[in-house]
Structure 1
Amino acid sequence: MADKELNFAREIIGERRFHEVPDDEILRGAERLLGEWMAGEVRMERPKLYDHYALLLLALTRRTRELEARVAALEGRTP
């Protein structure tokens, strides 16, 4: 396990603003970091990890809306 504690959001978005980072990139980064954290390969700043779940939840919410709209369009419904 690494000694340095990582900042969840900073590791994903770097120096950019959260709205500048595509949802796909957020989801890939979050999946990688959370997997490494669960496996004990990295340490996260505990208070920050909970605070920065919002970044992941926002990306998942937007992705869900996008997928729901695509399904509705395929089914011939208007979203």
Structure 2
Amino acid sequence: MSDREVNFARAIIGEQPYREVPPDTVLREAERLLNEWMSGEIRMERPKLYDHYALLLLALLQKNRELEARIAALEAQIEPH
């Protein structure tokens, strides 16, 4: 384990504006970082809600909205006309 603490949000988005990072990328990288943190492979800075957990929450909300739209479209295809 490294002594360096990882900044959760910065490790995911780098220097990009958060709106330019697709939700799937955020979710994939967040899962990787959280797995490494839980297994003791990395240390993370104590997060502040507005720039760490908010990034993950926003990606989950966007993904949820996308999945709801896909379900609605599928349901519309199978409903009798």
The equivalent residue for 2:6 is 6
TM superposition shift of 1:11 = 0.2
- Which structure has the highest helix share of the two? 1
Structure 2: runs of 5 or more not aligned: none
Note if 1:45 corresponds to 2:45: yes
Structure 1-normalised TM-score? 0.90
TM superposition shift of 1:24 = 1.0
Q: Which whole-Å deviations, capped at 9, do the CAs of 1:15-45 have from their partners, x for residues lacking one?
A: 0110011111111110000000010100000
RMSD, matched Cα: 1.2
CA distance in 2, matches of 1:58, 1:26: 9
The equivalent residue for 2:23 is 23
Structure 2-normalised TM-score? 0.87
TM superposition shift of 1:2 = 1.2
Q: Number of residues paired by the alignment?
A: 75
Report matched runs for 1:60-75 at 5 Å.
60-75=60-75
Structure 1: runs of 5 or more not aligned: none
